[in-house]
A and B are shown apart, each in its own frame.
Chain A
Amino acid sequence: MATITLPVKEHEEVLEQEALITGSEAIAVACKLANVDVVTAYPIRPYDTVMQYMSQLVADGELDCEFIVADGEHSQFEIVKHASACGARVFSGSSGVGWMYAMEALTVTPALRIPIVALVGNRTLDDPGAFGVEHNDALSVRDLGWMLVWVDNAQEALDTALIAYRVAEDRRMFVPLAISCDGAFLTHSQSLVKIPAPEKVKKFLPKYNRGELLLHPDNVISVAPQANEDWVMEMRRQNYAVTERAPGVIREVYAEFERIFGRKYGNPFFEEYRTEDAEVVLFGMGTLSTPVKVTIDKLRQQGKKVGFVRLRWFRPFAGPEIAKALERFKAIGVIERDVSFGSPDLSGVVATELRSALYSNAKTRPPVLDFLCGLGGREVTVPDVEKITEITFQAASGKPQPLTQWIGLRG
């Protein structure tokens, strides 16, 4: 049989390709397409696979960037912070306590209006040193001015990384952005991914322009001088204004993504699955979407009207839109891989935020039950989700249920 061989070199700029890659690799491919300038690495599982790929891309001459192996996560994020101030497009990342080790650098970056894009390969916080996924690492920066987005598959990881650069580097934003990929379940799992043509990426993603904030001898400015109560409130208000603008910018960028690449994400902030006629919905972030969707398909065959809303953007938290989407259901079951010790109702972070959003935005307020599940990387199983759905239906039928429950806990 005759085969047609394409002269790849000539066409690779314009052709979309397909590859079997992991979530981490998808992010690395996006960084290559975004032509990043400075990358900093430090090993910690599971995010570090992305840096293995980055290192290989540099070694193979596929990516022209400064690849720096730092002496710790704090340095990782300080290095890219300063590189970005000098006009470089940057990438870094971490996991679990590594992310926490960088905390000081993470804290100062939004106030400096530095658009770092980072991967958090979500990992359980120590101790006891579990490798598996929990979301408390990335969530720890939720009040600091970072944008936070969760993805649940490698294609979405790649696309979201491209979107991330465009959103973060938009002059109306200029704040850091972390993409969360569930450790192991996404960072290490392969799937077929469409890799966009570089030519289209160029069209989608303009060059990073630091403008009047550029740190360069041609632009003599002092960045982050010391201020006290005389000016700090005004500075905080500026970062606050970024969060006010964020939903609009994100919507714009997704629309532009769809126009150029033809791949649709619909509502950027959350994905809805079989919600049209649902009576109750489950709500969660990340790869638990897989067992949840499988369970929903199964329960639907039994006539149970249950749907699922997967949250992508945690910051900004699209309160009004989420409330509008959820207020019509009879009960909501949040499944989450994090804990917020001592919080109201002793729930996780996601349920607490969701209740807050519904309280102020929803016309009717269905009961929001929280299910702490899949901690430490434990699998969220189909029986777990069945049980959660059953309890949520109980609440929908007016039988009061505990506001927070642990699911999948050993007896």
Chain B
Amino acid sequence: MSTLVETKPTQELAPFKGVKKVPYEEYFTSGHRTCEGCESAQFMRLVAKAAGPRTIVLGATGCMYVANTSYYSTVWGVPWMHTQLGAAGSSALGAAAALKALMRKGEIKDEPINVVAFCGDGGGADIGLGPISATLTIPDYNLLIVLYDNESYGNTGIQVSSTSPYGVNTTFSTPGKVKRIMHHRWKKNVAGLMLAGHSTCKYVATVSTTYALQAMNCVRRALSIGGPTFIHCLNPCPKGWDFDPEIAYELGNLAVNTGIWPLYEVENGVLKLYGKTRQIADGRYKRLPVADYLLKQGRFAHFTDEDIAFFQSQVDDMWNNWLIPGVIPLRKGAEEPAPATE
């Protein structure tokens, strides 16, 4: 951005070169009561590990607040503060602004301190979207907003959010005698929204806890590049998605391999697909049918063949017809929609 903006230097967090180079120290530790197989808790652990000890974490209301920070048994080995459901963006802004002002005035030591705010899909894609968007337009502060996405309001009892997948069974979209599909919305493309709408934001990435090393390195890149940054992580949720906890990792994998969850980084406006997503885009890997992913989860148990076919057609459309497949839904030749393949 403009040189007129006075930004503070960041910590230089080089990528971990292989799992064996990842430090042993944990900053998200014991004491939580998340479900067995909870990938959101796993993501918290990875973010904390990647960010390291000179970090302030702000946590919006959600599972990762309620289940992680029961009074007298906090998991956090770095300073942590609860923030309201819709305030992940504002909380990061407030903390970063305070640090900047106090360092400039000589009230505290001038040093790079990471500010990381997290929110769930309810906090990030619904109620707190506006404040996150506003925060990403402000170039003055170094901060990272991470969205852990379990595709529902998991903490309140599994209700639909704007990142819930089409047709999903939640407690606000339970199939009934007349209506099989109560949730007709398509998942909000949050990372695409952030990168397309905020040129001030130098780094946006989508990650999966299944690819833990890559996820940590995305966090380290985001914190090093400076300014406001955003990471969106898909987190399989045994409670909300209704699957055996032991396949949490596998579901993360399938989400990517079916093309449902594309993995990419956008750094200074340059898009880089990575992992299997890149292979899919390059034609080196054939996407698996979405049924492989959907049918392993109880939340789609009511799906008929027709529903699965519709879901598949939407994913095909994303890969075949979007100008930047999986990222931005601008279309090639809008007047003549290409037929779905596969």
Contact = CB atoms under 8 A, between A and B. Distances in A.
A169 to B, nearest CB: 14
Contact of B58 (A64, A75, A82): A82
B79 A78 contact: no
A224 interface: yes
A78 B71 contact: no
Contacts of A79: 90-91, 93-94, 97
B70 A37 contact: no
Contacts of A66: 97-98, 100-101, 140
Contacts of B58: 82
B131 interface: yes
Contact of B90 (A37, A75, A216): A75
A80 interface: yes
Interface stretch (B104-112, B160-168, B212-220, B287-295): B104-112
Contact of B131 (A38, A74, A84, A216): A74
Given A78-B131, A226-B70, A68 B138 contact: yes
Contacts of A221: 79-80
B53 interface: yes
Contact of B95 (A65, A82, A222): A82
A80 B98 CA distance: 9
B102 interface: yes
B102 A88 contact: yes
Which of B56, B89, B90, B93 has the most chain A CB within a 10 Å cutoff? B90
Interface string A47-88: 000000000000000001110101110110011111111111
Which of B70, B74, B79 has the most chain A CB within a 10 Å cutoff? B79
Nearest to B130: A71
Given A75-B89, A79-B90, A216 B56 contact: yes
Given A82-B81, A87-B108, A71 B131 contact: yes
B79 A74 contact: no
A141 interface: no
Interface string B66-106: 10011110101111111110110111111101111110110
B79 A81 contact: no
A220 B78 contact: yes
A225 interface: yes
Contact of A226 (B65, B77, B102): B65
Given A38-B94, A78-B94, A217-B113, A225 B82 contact: yes
A219 interface: yes
B94 A74 contact: no
Contacts of B83: 78, 82
B157 to A, nearest CB: 16
Contacts of A87: 98, 102, 107-108
A71 B107 contact: no
A216 to B, nearest CB: 6
Nearest to A207: B107
A278 interface: no
Nearest to A81: B94
Given A72-B131, A220-B79, A215 B56 contact: yes
B94 A82 contact: yes
A226 B72 CA distance: 9
B24 to A, nearest CB: 18
A233 interface: no
A82 B91 contact: yes
A66 B92 CA distance: 14
Given A87-B107, A88-B97, A223 B87 contact: no
A224 B131 contact: no
A230 interface: yes
A224 B81 CA distance: 6
A283 B265 CA distance: 64
Contacts of A72: 130-131
B102 A78 contact: no
Contacts of B130: 71-72, 75
Contacts of B79: 215-217, 219-223
B87 A74 contact: yes
Given A86-B95, A88-B97, A222 B84 contact: no
Contacts of A231: 71
Nearest to A72: B130
Contacts of B134: 70-71, 75
A220 B77 contact: yes
Contacts of A217: 53-56, 78-79, 113
B34 interface: no
A105 interface: yes
Contacts of A230: 71
Contacts of A227: 70-71
B140 to A, nearest CB: 8
Nearest to B117: A82
Contacts of B94: 38, 78-86
A224 B82 contact: yes
A197 interface: no
A105 B84 contact: yes
B87 A105 contact: yes
Contact of B84 (A68, A104, A223): A104
A339 interface: no
A226 B71 contact: yes
A207 B101 CA distance: 14
A403 interface: no
A108 interface: yes
A149 B54 CA distance: 40
13 contacts: A35-B105, A37-B98, A37-B107, A66-B98, A66-B101, A68-B138, A70-B131, A74-B87, A82-B81, A84-B94, A86-B56, A87-B107, A87-B108
In order of increasing CB-CB distance, the 10 nearest A-B pairs are: A82-B94, A71-B134, A86-B98, A88-B98, A78-B90, A222-B74, A227-B71, A224-B82, A83-B98, A225-B69
Interface of B: 53-56, 58, 65-66, 69-72, 74, 76-84, 86-87, 89-95, 97-102, 104-105, 107-108, 113, 130-131, 133-134, 138, 140
Given A83-B94, A86-B95, A216-B79, 15 more contacts: A38-B98, A66-B98, A66-B140, A68-B97, A71-B131, A74-B86, A75-B131, A78-B83, A82-B91, A82-B94, A105-B84, A217-B78, A225-B82, A226-B70, A226-B82
